[in-house]
C-alpha cells in the first residue's frame, strides 16, 4: 500500500499538494489489528490519528452497570482519533476492531508541527477536521433524539 496515495484519498487531506502529502507520509505508517483487539483505550496517551483503510472499528465507552456501550462505528475511509487535538491528550473512548482492520497511523505531534510550519496546509487540514467534528456532533444529536424519543414512548406505556 502506498501511504501517500491512501492519505490523498482522505477528506482530511484533499486540498494538499503532492509535496505536502509526501511530507505527511514520512511520519505515517501502515498498521494492522485483529478482530476484537483495541487500537486504543480510554486514558492512554493520544499521540496519533488513524485513517481506516480496511475493516470496521467501534468507538466505545465503558459504563459500570451495562459494560461497554458502542457509541459509533467507523469504517474504511473514515478518521479515527481526535483526542490528540486537546490537552491533556488522552483518549476519551476505546476503539475496538469489529473486523480485522488496517489503518494508516499518523504521528499527531508531527502533524501538528507540520500544520504550524505550513499555515496554508494547516488551515486546510483543521478546516476539514472541523467538518468531521460537525458531522460527528450531528450524528450524536440524531442518536440522542432517537434515544429520547424511545425513552418517552417507554414512559407512556
CATH number for the domain including 23? 2.60.120.10
* Cell (9 digits) for 53: 483503510
What pLDDT does 100 receive?
A: 98
Rg of the chain's alpha carbons, rounded to an integer? 17
CA distance 18 to 152: 52
Above 60 in pLDDT, residue 152? no
The separation between CA 78 and the C-alpha centre of its own chain, rounded to angstroms, equals 7
CA distances 26 to 1, 121, 138, Å, are 14, 16, 33
The separation between CA 39 and the C-alpha centre of its own chain, rounded to angstroms, equals 11
CA distance 79 to 49: 7
User: What is the arrangement of strands in the sheet containing 79-80, beginning at the earlier edge strand?
Assistant: 28-33, 101-107, 48-54, 79-80
Per residue in 63-73, pLDDT tens? 888 888 888 89
What pLDDT does 108 receive?
A: 94
What pLDDT does 64 receive?
A: 83
Q: Which domain holds residue 145?
A: 3-156
Tell me, yes or no, if the pTM score tops 0.95.
no
CA distance 135 to 77: 15
**What is the domain count for the chain?**
1
CA distances 46 to 29, 61, 102, 107, 145, Å, are 16, 16, 18, 10, 30
Per residue in 85-133, pLDDT tens? 887 799 999 999 999 999 999 999 999 999 999 999 999 999 999 998 9
What pLDDT does 154 receive?
A: 53
Backbone angles phi, psi at 54, to 5 degrees: -155, 145
What pLDDT does 91 receive?
A: 94
Per residue in 13-60, pLDDT tens? 989 999 999 999 999 999 999 999 999 999 999 999 999 999 999 999
* Cell (9 digits) for 28: 505515517
Above 70 in pLDDT, residue 150? no
Please report which confidence band the pLDDT of residue 149 belongs to, taking 50, 70 and 90 as the band edges: low
Amino acid at each position: 500500500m502506498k501511504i501517500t496515495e491512501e492519505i490523498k484519498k482522505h477528506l482530511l487531506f484533499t486540498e494538499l499538494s503532492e509535496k505536502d502529502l509526501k511530507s505527511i507520509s514520512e511520519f505515517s505508517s501502515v498498521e494492522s489489528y485483529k478482530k476484537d483487539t483495541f487500537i486504543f483505550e480510554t486514558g492512554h496517551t493520544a499521540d496519533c490519528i488513524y485513517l481506516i483503510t480496511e475493516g470496521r472499528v467501534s468507538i466505545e465507552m465503558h459504563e459500570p452497570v451495562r459494560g461497554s456501550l458502542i457509541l459509533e462505528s467507523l469504517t474504511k475511509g473514515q478518521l479515527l482519533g481526535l483526542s490528540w487535538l486537546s490537552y491533556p491528550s488522552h483518549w476519551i473512548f476505546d476503539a475496538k476492531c469489529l473486523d480485522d482492520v488496517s489503518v494508516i497511523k499518523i504521528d499527531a505531534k508531527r502533524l501538528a508541527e507540520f500544520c504550524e510550519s505550513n499555515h496554508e496546509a494547516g488551515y486546510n487540514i483543521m478546516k476539514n477536521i472541523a467538518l468531521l467534528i460537525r458531522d460527528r456532533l450531528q450524528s450524536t444529536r440524531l442518536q440522542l433524539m432517537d434515544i429520547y424519543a424511545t425513552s418517552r414512548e417507554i414512559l407512556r406505556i
